[in-house]
Chain A
Amino acid sequence: MPAPQQTAAEIALAAQKQSARRHQLLSLPSVLIITLFGVLPLLVILVYSFLKAAPYGGVEWKFSTNAYLNFLFQRDIFDDSLQFSPAYLYIYLRSILFAISTTIICLLIGFPTAYFMATRPPEQRSWWVLLITIPFWSNLLVRTLAIMFIIRDEGVINTILMNWHIIDKPITMLYTNFAIVLGLLYSYLPFMVLPLYSSLEKLDFRLVEAGFDLYATKRQVLWRIIIPMAKPGIIAGCLLVLIPAIGAYVTPLILGGGLHLMIGDLIAQQFGSGRNWPLGAAQALILMAAVMAALFLYVRNSTGKMHHE
């Protein structure tokens, strides 16, 4: 009696193993492509960051920690001593500051917009989503150039203001910090609105109603009920803006005109005219570490919450 039972179990186990193997094989091509051409390159720059820079770009295969030292210090030409030089650190801090300001303004504009969208009748909602999705998927370079056309000295705003004789000299907006934050805001606003919308859309309005029944004012309902319930969407939206904004490349390139660098341009510069690949690799990895830290905090925070509930 026990013998056939055992075989049945064995057959089931074998079938299960076979199906797991099949599922593994199905996932293999994707994993292989990304590992070879996405993960391996990251390891290459990790190695590069510990090598010496070759004079005309590329690397020399000699171990060196110069790239990381250069990040904070500059070697004196005369006595070879290291001197603290915060130029790169300053660019990092500026990028973080720009990214945080952008995130806050995006949230201030994005939250009311997403809430307004979520409270439309269903038919109108899908049109609103389409309207926010179009810029989301439109070419970032072209959209940034469009901002440039509007804010430069001979641009639309200055031309109109001068034609109306409100000003007689153009206001310089292009190539300023203002231009960069405006560009970042414009680039990443849809990244804030869409996740906020998807969390507000699921909002249970019976709770809002209950709030009003208990004589809450509109403002109290907003701060005590709606915003706490939309928190996952708020956090997701903030991360989706913050992370690409810290590493932004196109926006400061076009709207900062090389005067107000952000991390992204700094890294690109080392691989281009700077011809210091190890330094660029080290800078990229430091940015990567910052982003991973933010993501890690987010994941730990959100899984910790789930445990609580």
Chain B
Amino acid sequence: MSRAVPVIDIKSQPGFKGVAILCLAMLYTPILVLIIFAFNSGSLMMHWEGVSLRWFGVALQNADFQSAAKNTFMISIVATIVATVVATLAAIGMTRVKSWRGMRVAFMIINLPLMVPEIITAVATLSFFALLAKTLGLGFGIGNIMLAHCVFCIPFAFMPIRARLEDMDLTLENAAADLYATPWQAFRRVTFPLLIPGIASGAALAFIVSFDDFTITQMVAGPGQTTLPLYIWDQTRRPMTPEVNAISAILLLFSILFIVISFLIARKRK
């Protein structure tokens, strides 16, 4: 009686699987092609001669590449540390607490860098540092780039830390308080250890957005302050060799590795 109608899979929709596969193909074909051609042994971009690591060797030995890599890591690491520390403090000050005066405004300010189009931030920061240099003679060298990166890294670090805090229940902290822990002890021994996964994913996000940034860095960077994305961009302005492919592939593989590792760590925690 009840099975008079043929059973249908209520969740499936016709054609959706095909679109999903098309979507993945679209996202990955360019990346894969780029990585494959980085292993080409020939000197021409599109003429395949054989598999080799030749261009990776050329790229890694290039002094310009090395200095760009050094700059990139220096900027990203400083920006990540600063952004993660201040974002953690802000998350603690703004989550699960009684609303204080100006909290909404503070929250808006912290999220602002996510809402302003990147090119506007870029030209605004350029104008700002130019003004500082002209009127006050103030310039921080590569510190200019670090400060600019800190600004957009803070909201990225803030989001996962805040989410983690919001998910945490108060039971354990109340238990600590019941056992006569001071607020600081409760934070140090209970809240902070529970918060570490959130801080780790916040730091990972901050690092990756800083590491990959092109638009803002390009505007703010002075002469000699080349980062890896800027270096790749310079290389594409002249006759290209497979070296560009190799450097691009290194950058991509580094990001992918970084994301996969963060993903696996987060999964293991669950």
**Which A residues lie at the B interface, using CB under 8 A?**
16, 19-27, 29-31, 33-35, 37-42, 44-45, 48, 58, 109-110, 112-113, 115-117, 119, 126, 130-135, 137-143, 145-147, 149-150, 154-156, 159, 185-186, 189-190, 193, 205, 208-209, 212, 218, 221-222, 243-244, 246-247, 249-250, 254, 263-264, 267-268, 271, 277, 280-281, 284, 287-288, 291-292, 295
Contact = CB atoms under 8 A, between A and B. Distances in A.
A30 B110 contact: yes
Contact of A212 (B8, B17, B113): B8
Interface in B49-71: none
Contact of A247 (B20, B31, B45, B120): B120
A35 B26 contact: no
Interface residues of B, number: 91
Given A246-B117, A249-B118, A271-B126, A33 B259 contact: no
A131 B208 contact: no
B123 A189 contact: no
A140 B256 CA distance: 13
B199 to A, nearest CB: 14
Given A38-B112, A156-B46, A281-B123, A58 B130 contact: yes
Interface in B108-144: 109-110, 112-113, 115-128, 130-131, 134
A267 B113 contact: no
B236 A145 contact: yes
Given A150-B33, A244-B118, A249-B118, A138 B256 contact: yes
B100 A143 contact: no
A16 B148 CA distance: 36
B224 interface: no
B94 A27 contact: yes
B93 A24 contact: yes
Contacts of B112: 34, 38-39
Contact of A267 (B45, B120, B267): B120
20 contacts: A20-B97, A29-B86, A30-B87, A30-B154, A37-B128, A44-B127, A58-B134, A109-B23, A110-B23, A130-B263, A133-B259, A145-B34, A186-B30, A189-B27, A218-B8, A222-B13, A247-B119, A268-B219, A280-B123, A287-B117
A41 B125 contact: yes
B203 interface: no
Contacts of B232: 141-142, 145
B26 A189 contact: yes
A295 B115 contact: yes
B176 interface: no
A31 B212 contact: no
B109 A39 contact: yes
A126 B110 CA distance: 29
A31 B110 contact: yes
Interface string B197-216: 00000000100110010110
A109 B26 contact: yes
B81 interface: no
B27 A40 contact: no
Contacts of A130: 259-260, 263
A30 B33 contact: no
Residue of B24, B121, B124 ringed by the most chain A CB atoms within 10 A: B124
Given A38-B151, A116-B16, A281-B127, 18 more contacts: A23-B97, A23-B103, A31-B109, A33-B82, A34-B113, A37-B125, A109-B23, A112-B15, A113-B20, A130-B260, A143-B252, A150-B30, A155-B46, A189-B27, A218-B13, A244-B118, A250-B215, A288-B117
B11 A135 contact: no
B158 interface: yes
B248 interface: yes
A292 B232 CA distance: 33
Contacts of A26: 89-90, 92-93
- 7 A-B pairs closest in CB distance: A247-B117, A26-B93, A146-B30, A41-B128, A41-B124, A112-B19, A30-B90
Contacts of A218: 8, 13-14
Contacts of B236: 145, 254
Given A37-B128, A39-B109, A249-B118, A117 B151 contact: no
